[in-house]
Amino acid sequence: MAASVISLACVEIQGTLDKLTLHETVRPHAQRLPQKKTVALSVPSQSDVDVQSLVKQLTLQEKVSLLAGDGLWHTAAVKRLGIPRIKVTDGPNGARGELFTSGTKAACFPAAVSIAATWDTGLAKRIGRAMAEETKTKGASVLTATTRLGPTVCPHRSPLGGRNFESFSEDPLLAGLQAASVIQGLQENGIAATIKHFAANEQETMRNAIDVVVSERALREIYLKPFEIAIKQAKPLALMTSYNLVNGVHADQNTHLVKEILHEQWGYDGLVMSDYGGTNSLEDTIKTGVDLEMPGPPRHRTLAAVEKALASGSLDMASIDDRVRSVLQLVKNVGKFEHPDEIPETAVNHPDHQRLIREAGADGIVLLKNKGGILPLQTSSLSSIAVLGQSKTCFSNGGGSANLNAHYKITPYEALQKAVGETTELRYAIGAQIYRKLPCWTSGVTDHNGQPGWTMLEYDVKDKNVPLSDDMQPQRVYAFPQTTYMAIEHISDAVRLEGTFTPASSGAHYFSLPAFGHAKLFIDGELAYDAGPSPDPRAFSEGGPFEEKKQHHFVQGKSYQLRVEVLAPKPEQAAIPMMAGRIMFHLGFMAQEDYEEDVVTSAVEAAKRADVALVFVGNSAEWETEGHDAANMSLPAFGSQDRLIEAVAAVNPRTVVINCSGVPVAMPWIDSVAGLLQCWYQGQEAGNAIVDVLLGAVSPSGRLPVSFPRSVEDTPSYGNFPGDLATGTVNYAEGIKVGYRHYDKHPDKVLFPFGAGLSYTSFEFGPAVITPRELVHGGFITVRLQVKNVGAVAGKEVVQVYLAPLPTEARGADRPERPIKVLAGFSKVAVAPQSAVSAAVEFSFESAAFWDEKADCWAVDCGEYAVLVGNSSVNHTKVGTIVVNESFTYGP
């Protein structure tokens, strides 16, 4: 029998309560980058192992074994010389462990975009520390992933990017500083971070093959800058290359990116690994400086291939030794020579992590509209609240590699119910269905033993195109829990799922069967649906195309024999080779009366009779996910959530929308609602975090890390996202005009600007003191001011400092166009009511620089620069000027 792994996603609910503690501290944030060419790595642990000596003792076969992974989650070991292996684990918003869907339980932290929305680097560092503790419980030394790692720092180029939620911001400074803080928290606690994806990986459409055509200036100022900041400030021990091509060359083979910029110009000396399945050659990637091909077994770095390349002279031993040395150095840096044993994965539900996730989730929530001060809700004066939409869903994370088996998930409805107790009536109605895949087919199904669930049979067949034999015996029986979503991963040639279905009602009920492999559904022995072969696992696991829904007429009380047969794709058929031999499928079902039910009317009736209506909407992990870019900015599904909001707002003027998404969404209803909270993905404590803000236990202090445009047509990348799929190219034609750098010149096209966010209190900024007034090469400028809370409740404010260069015409017609302003630094301060604290923001000379393509270096023009201070990219005041008396350039 073939070996098998079966995973099932399930949801468990529990919760804790906590109160936010405000600390009156000043945290300066600045782009302070070391100017040394060589970046010395921060090392969590050291031993007396001589890496160079080890390299000399290795045989060629042993060296080659170290150049690729040992399976999905490990580097290779060399027992002869006592070289242990390293375990890696996924890290977008937690440490998942080895299994993708139902592995060891783990803490689910807020997504990176939510961390960025806090504008708090100290909080980001604390999250990194907690993630390090979580990673250790999974027996891993590197926070990484299959096909992804953490943290992700690629800027948000378009709101349609399916994976934006995993990254921080449209602004390279904010993204770089927050990523650096997470990395520092991880590595100070003995876990190596792997920054990703290097570089220009801003879309999921054709991500393995798309060629990004980007100017050197845009590459340097926007897309590489967050990497540069994080690498120079936090010194991550590992880096992952991206799948895509950059200006015609795959990232892992891109000499300009990896060898010239990363290694030579930035002096990076950490390990470079490929994205999973993202190695495209043998010789080129080794010469460029990619140390590790992931996962194993290798496609390119085989012993036979290396021996052939050495014999032909296309590869030399010195390059191989360099790559091996980097792998061994990482083994040493994470302390594996001292502690070679791998501990079993465990689930540690740490109370400190629970509190931190709740605090961070609330701090990232952005209050965007609060007409008439409708928030915070005063429950003592409310007899009833309509709780509508997705309030019984915990939007903890986006889809794809961000999935993990959370310790628990708190929904907003649960948190609100617990908070208001018996004093206020909650009137619930879903109002809109947003499922992308039909719910798991579990209700009414029994297995071979008559127990709830299905029987799983596994086969070992020589030819996967041969139908399953009837004489094979079942290897295992598997009963699915009653969950709302099923995901099965199965490593085998072929599987069969069998069960007896007794419907609770008659009707033309709906079913679906998306799969990775060739799936068929039989009802009473007759073929009811042939899904056909699917060689691309993303069609199942990461969104992909919409599932096809079919109908079959069932009679209430009658028993039907169901059988699902799935054949794995052949290795040469699999779109992602590392997935060959793996079977994945989802069997969905919904009764006709449920699928076609009018759910809006009940929501409207609940809203009519309530003192206030809370409408919870957003992008579930099925809709916002790795492997799939959105087609538009509309909320799913097919206008259902927009119709719900509009219908509710028409009958209740006290309507508050709570949106959970990692990206801006279209808001055709914005003028009709009284309140709006942007809540991102806040991890396992999402419900508590949202209710903390709704009820005023926490005054909202999140600020937008991305601009919210009015429509997708207003975005700078419109027309060039996701590119020309016929030619496989995407042109970054907007250049450096990304995010607010674009909207500053088109203010009518932005709905909510970068950096914006309201509070339950009010702040005033005192006069600013700028020192020094002259900016020189290597110099720094500090802006100091008082921040006063003039309101009645404690709160936090983000002081944002922007630097505005002279207009192009004042600098000379031959000088490149500059943005109106750029974010130079920021500081988040907590202020008690009727009190004031000092804030200090420091920024470096590099905030005034641009990439001079003619000179191929950074340049700073002489002249005056305005210093702007405010709390968003549009709400600011000029507080003074600084001067550059003499133009200068400097190297990368």
- The catalytic residues are 275
3-state secondary structure of 401: helix
DSSP character string of 99-143: -SSSSS-B--PPPHHHHHHHT-HHHHHHHHHHHHHHHHHTT-SEE
The kind and range of the H/E element at 96 are: none
Give the separation between CA 679 and CA 464, rounded to whole angstroms: 46
- Cβ neighbours, 10 Å, residue 34: 12
Give the separation between CA 769 and CA 656, rounded to whole angstroms: 40
What Rg, from alpha-carbon coordinates, does the chain have? 28
Using N-to-C axis directions, what is the helix angle for 172-187 and 225-234, rounded to 10°? 30
Spell out the residues 6+ positions from residue 59 whose beta carbon is closer than 8 angstroms to its own.
none
Residue 214 CB-density burial (10 A; 0-12 exposed, 13-18 middle, 19+ buried): buried
Tokens of 43: 């090392």
* Contact status, residue 441 vs residue 482, Cβ threshold 8 Å: no
Tokens of 533: 């072969």
On the CB side of 381, how many CA atoms lie within 13 Å of its CA? 7
Give the separation between CA 340 and CA 53, rounded to whole angstroms: 19
Classify residue 695 as left (phi > 0), alpha (psi -120 to 50) or beta. alpha
- Cβ neighbours, 10 Å, residue 789: 25
Residue 358 CB-density burial (10 A; 0-12 exposed, 13-18 middle, 19+ buried): buried
Which strands make up the sheet holding 249-250, listed edge to edge?
Answer: 249-250, 245-246, 211-213, 729-731
Spell out the residues 6+ positions from residue 268 whose beta carbon is closer than 8 angstroms to its own.
39, 231, 239, 262
- Relative to beta strand 515-523, strand 582-585 is antiparallel
The CA dihedral of 413, 416, 421, 425, to the nearest 10 degrees, is: -70
The kind and range of the H/E element at 418 are: helix 412-420
The CA dihedral of 490, 595, 661, 384, to the nearest 10 degrees, is: -130
Amino acid 725 reads: L
* Contact status, residue 660 vs residue 614, Cβ threshold 8 Å: no
Spell out the residues 6+ positions from residue 286 whose beta carbon is closer than 8 angstroms to its own.
67, 301, 315, 319, 320, 323
Give the separation between CA 529 and CA 549, rounded to whole angstroms: 10
* Contact status, residue 569 vs residue 518, Cβ threshold 8 Å: yes
Distances in whole angstroms, Cα of residue 560 to Cα of each of 435, 444, 450, 788: 26, 10, 13, 70
How many residues does the structure list for the chain? 892
Task: Write the secondary structure of 204-229 as one string of H (helix), E (strand) and C (coil).
Answer: CCCCCCCEEECCHHHHHHHHCHHHHH
* Contact status, residue 276 vs residue 242, Cβ threshold 8 Å: no
Give the separation between CA 755 and CA 766, rounded to whole angstroms: 20
CA-closest candidate to residue 191, choices 122, 131, 124, 104: 131
- Relative to beta strand 142-143, strand 88-89 is parallel
Amino acid 281 reads: S
Backbone φ and ψ of 399, nearest 5°: -95, 175
* Contact status, residue 261 vs residue 892, Cβ threshold 8 Å: yes
Q: What angle do CA 624, 628, 630 make, to 5 degrees?
A: 65
